[in-house]
A and B are shown apart, each in its own frame.
Chain A
Amino acid sequence: MELIIQTLVNGLLIGGIFIMIAVGFTLAFGVMDIIDFAVGEWVMLGAFAAYWLQTLVHVDPLLFFPVIMLTFGAAAYVFQPVLQSVINIKHRSAALMALAFTFGLSTFFRGAALTLWGFNNRNIVTFLSDQSINILGITLPALRVAATVFAVIITIGFMVFLNKTKTGVAIRAAAENKTIAGLMGIDGQKVARTVYAIYAALTSLAGVFIGSIFSVNPDMGLRYTAFAFFVVVAGGMGSFAGAIAAAILLGLIASFVSVYVGGAYIFLILFLFLYFVLLFFSKGILGKGL
């Protein structure tokens, strides 16, 4: 019984981190109509940013997360027009060209990281590492709790931003219908840039946490790309509630499979699940998708 509860808690705590990726990714998909194959590489780069902050500047990366987020956000804001120009290419299969483009980005980032930093694993030590909270025999690692709490705060903050601020409303309008939003005087280009910046910032933050909880290496990206795809697909392509539910579900699957079936089976089961959700529930597990 305790094991089940522990597994459940672990799953929820992992799911919390995925929420951070899910929210940004879903938003980027909604506004830019793009599925970013490089999402996992943003996670990887976020983790490496934390690692180098710790190694070179000797500060606790977790305390300096706003610096990382701002840096990534700014970089993405600058880069977005390039991506946009690809999305706007006149071609028989423009959407797929954009997909292949992000694919190229992902290959580039991974290759660059491997070339510069090699294959080995590195660890990030933060003030929360090795700390844990015990409640009724259930262990809660402090870092994971912090990550989940962060994810929840950020998600709530984000929802407030989307619903209460002018920019937020513009973003929601653009995600709903770009043409009409454009007619209402919303600058689609600026909205897309903002969204891409937010997405990169959130994903890099997830990278900081993931790097601190597990470890950092240039090959880590692929699995998070898989996770992010899982989240948007299972969530129903563009639905926030669905994406959050899918993120938690993903955490639970990962946690339960590794305890009760074996760690080696996690990816098989995830991809199996992803494939069949895609085939049979194209509107997502909550049925709320586009």
Chain B
Amino acid sequence: MFSRYGTLKNAMCGLGLVALLLLPFIIPTFWLRIFTGVSLWVGLALSWNMIGGYMGYISFGHGAFFGVGAYATALVMAHTPIPFGIAILISGTLTYLFARMVGYLTFRLNGTYFAIGTWAFAEMMRQVVLLLPFTGGSYGMRLPPVVNEGFFYYVMLALAVAVLIFSYFIFEKSSFGLKVKSVREEETAAQTLGIDVEKVKNQVFALSGLFPGVIGGAYAYWITYIHPDSVLGPLIADQMVVMVLLGGIGTVFGPVIGASLMYIGNRIIWVTWGDSSSYLVILGLAICFIIRFLPEGLIKLPIRESLRRIGVGARQAIPNEEVR
């Protein structure tokens, strides 16, 4: 723990955080927006990872929580004087409760059926928003514009870091996390060891619906224009799934890596070709290749091994010491 390697690691983390905090003063707005987007997707990917990675239930419907959060914030801010900070918390609470309800219903299913169920449910939500009288239907909704890229960068960064810390402590370090993993590994055995499987599944699903709600709200205020296809379209959930798969499902840092690479890649393609359809081609191919050749994600690539070999040498002297 207090080896040179560990100190080095902590120092790197601290340095990275300082760099992230200073970013708005260093880089131009264009790049700041990209980093805001990276934070947004890191938060979403980590949220999906709670249910998809730790719980082992693939949800194709998580876009719904993002979209409902976005609409909730938009509606609250359009019709009441409630400030943004509280509006996104309201959105989060709402999507948490909403996820509780959806989970309660959908956990009658498992495996592939669960995946299809969540997908059907999310598509249903998109149709509902298109048809409701107060959401603007297919015209979408506008929010009061705020031009302060630095502000949104910090909001998204804070949210992403919050989800990261939450994931780490709840799923990697707490006994609740151990319960969750045991249910993923063997539901029947977990039950006979005294774990209320239904309760655990519902809790995790609700938690993984809470954060996308908050982030969705922040997104709505950032982008200032939302539309059923942009915040409730299937692409939102798809990207969450792919980012997690790319980085490494069921790990803390996998989704961070996956989301960062995917989003930056997306922007580069967008800037280079100027349209979004070629992004779909690459996204699709990426999904196929990752699953076929790298099902455990980038995080399982033997980078650490090779780093060790080329001379982060402190590790080699004490080979038995593990980073725990």
Please determine if A and B sit in direct contact within the complex, based on CB atoms under 8 angstroms apart: yes
Q: Which residues of B contact A268 (CB under 8 A)?
A: 124, 127-128, 131
Q: Smallest CB–CB gap between A70 and chain B, Å?
A: 25
Chain B residues with CB under 8 Å of A97's CB are 291, 295
Partner of B116, one of A89, A108, A115, A278: A278
Q: How far is the CA of A282 from the CA of B112 in the complex (A)?
A: 12
Q: Number of residues in B with C-beta < 8 Å to the partner?
A: 45
> B287 — which chain A residues lie within 8 A by C-beta?
100-101, 103-104, 107-108
When C-beta atoms are compared, the residue in chain A nearest to B102 turns out to be A275
Q: Which of A96-115 contact B (CB under 8 A)?
A: 96-97, 99-101, 103-112, 114-115
> CB-CB < 8 A to B105: which residues of A?
279
Q: Is the CB–CB distance between A101 and B292 below 8 Å?
A: yes
Q: Do B284 and A271 touch across chains, with their CB atoms under 8 A apart?
A: no
Which residues of chain A come closer than 8 Å to B111, judged between CB atoms?
95-96
Which residues of chain B from 257 to 290 have any CB-CB distance to chain A below 8 Å in the complex?
275, 277-288
Does B92 lie at the interface of the complex (its beta carbon under 8 Å from any beta carbon of A)? no
- Tell me if B285 and A115 are in contact (CB < 8 A): no
B-chain residues with CB within 8 Å of residue A229 when the two chains form the complex:
116, 119-120
Q: Which A105-148 residues have a C-beta within 8 angstroms of B? A: 105-112, 114-115
A108: which of B245, B284, B296 is its contact (CB, 8 Å)?
A: B284
Contact status B116-A91, CB under 8 Å:
no
Give every chain B residue within 8 A of A93 (Cβ-Cβ): 56, 58
- Cβ B113 vs Cβ A282 within 8 A: yes
Determine if A115 and B277 form an interchain contact, defined as CB atoms under 8 angstroms apart.
yes
Q: Is B238 an interface residue (CB 8 A)?
A: yes
Main secondary structure of the interface of A (DSSP, over half): helix
Interface pair B277/A114, CB less than 8 Å apart: yes
Instruction: Give A224 Cβ to nearest chain B Cβ, in Å.
Output: 13
**Any chain A CB within 8 A of the CB of B165?**
no
CA distance A92 to B185 in the complex (A): 9
> With A268-B131, A278-B117, A279-B105 in contact, do A111 and B291 touch (Cβ < 8 Å)?
no
| Docked CA distance A38–B128 (Å) | 25
Report yes or no: A111 in contact with B283, Cβ–Cβ below 8 A: yes
Q: Which residue of B lies closest to A41 (CB)?
A: B284
A82: CB under 8 A from chain B? yes
Q: Is A35 an interface residue (CB 8 A)?
A: yes
A52 at interface by CB-CB < 8 Å: no
Cβ-neighbour of B284 out of A106, A222, A282 (below 8 A): A106
The answer to the question of B220 belonging to the interface, with a C-beta cut-off of 8 Å to chain A, is no
A259 at the interface (CB under 8 A from B): no
Interface residues of A (CB under 8 A from B): 35, 82, 85-86, 89, 91-93, 95-97, 99-101, 103-112, 114-115, 222, 226, 229, 233, 264-265, 267-268, 271-272, 274-275, 278-279, 282
24 contacts between A and B (CB under 8 A): A85-B292, A92-B56, A93-B58, A96-B112, A100-B287, A104-B285, A104-B286, A104-B288, A104-B291, A105-B284, A108-B285, A108-B288, A110-B280, A111-B282, A114-B280, A226-B123, A229-B116, A264-B130, A265-B131, A271-B124, A275-B121, A278-B116, A279-B105, A279-B106
The 5 A-B residue pairs with the shortest CB-CB distance in the complex, in nearest-first order: A111-B280, A108-B284, A104-B287, A114-B277, A107-B284
